Amino acid sequence: MIAGIDHFVLTVRSVEATCDFYGRVLGMRRLDEPNRPTALLFGPQKINLHEVGRTFEPKARTPTPGSGDFCLVAAVPLAEVQASLEAHGVAIEVGPVERIGARGPLMSVYFRDPDDNLVEVSEYRLT
């Protein structure tokens, strides 16, 4: 019944700080459209951003900054992601470590964004 994920929403303290972080560190592109939430674009997906006090309807029952925990698949080797994190002063909390993703084995690094969401970036391993 379900083919994939189109987008998800993060509730954030500051849209500006979030866009700056994801743009600088992970190369996401910002999209602003009238009467729509600001979005971060990557590959064929996006993250919609709801700023505390400026959310859109409908929304989660109790939207809270820092409650996100998600995995993104890298479009470049994981070593390049690690280098970008290091260059931007972002501490890796865990990794690289082996994990099992939706499509099989992968290597992952974990770090925090400006709202303390746990972000996992992974690279699928060749089998």
φ/ψ (deg, to 5) at 3? -100, -25
Catalytic residue status for 120: yes
User: b/e map of 13-30 (b: 16 or more CB within 10 Å)?
Assistant: eebeebbebbeebbebeb
Q: Which residues are catalytic?
A: 120
